[in-house]
C-alpha cells in the first residue's frame, strides 16, 4: 500500500511533465536547490538541466528520493 501512495506522490509532482520530468519547473527548481552538479563538478542552474543530468540525479540520489516519497506519502 505504501508503494502505491509513494507512486501517487511522484505522479502528482511530475504530472504535466510525466514523460519529460527534466522540463518540469518544480522538479528543475528542486534539483537546482539540491545542489546538482555537472560532470566537471560545477553547480548547474535550473535552465541548464537536461535529460542526462536528470537521470544521473535520480540514480545517484535514489535513496533520498525514496525517503522523501515515503515521508510525503505518510501525510495522506
Q: What is the pTM of this model?
A: 0.76
Q: In total, how many domains does the chain have?
A: 1
Q: Could you report the per-residue pLDDT of 31-61, keeping only the tens digit for each?
A: 888 888 888 989 999 999 999 999 988 898 8
Measured between alpha carbons, how far is 42 from 52 in angstroms, rounded to an integer? Answer: 15
Instruction: Find cell 542552474 and name the residue.
Output: 45
Residues 6+ apart with CB under 8 A from 5: 73, 76
Domain holding 7, by residue range, is 2-73
**Predicted pLDDT at 42:** 92
Q: Could you report the per-residue pLDDT of 27-39, keeping only the tens digit for each?
A: 898 888 888 888 8
Euclidean distance between the first and the last CA atom of the chain, given in angstroms as a whole number: 12
Amino acid at each position: 500500500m505504501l508503494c502505491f501512495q509513494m507512486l501517487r506522490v511522484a505522479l502528482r509532482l511530475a504530472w504535466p511533465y510525466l514523460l519529460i520530468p527534466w522540463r518540469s519547473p518544480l522538479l528543475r527548481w528542486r534539483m537546482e536547490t539540491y545542489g546538482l552538479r555537472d560532470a566537471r563538478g560545477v553547480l548547474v542552474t535550473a535552465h541548464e538541466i537536461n535529460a542526462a543530468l536528470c537521470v544521473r540525479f535520480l540514480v545517484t540520489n535514489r535513496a533520498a528520493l525514496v525517503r522523501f516519497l515515503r515521508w510525503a506519502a505518510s501525510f495522506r
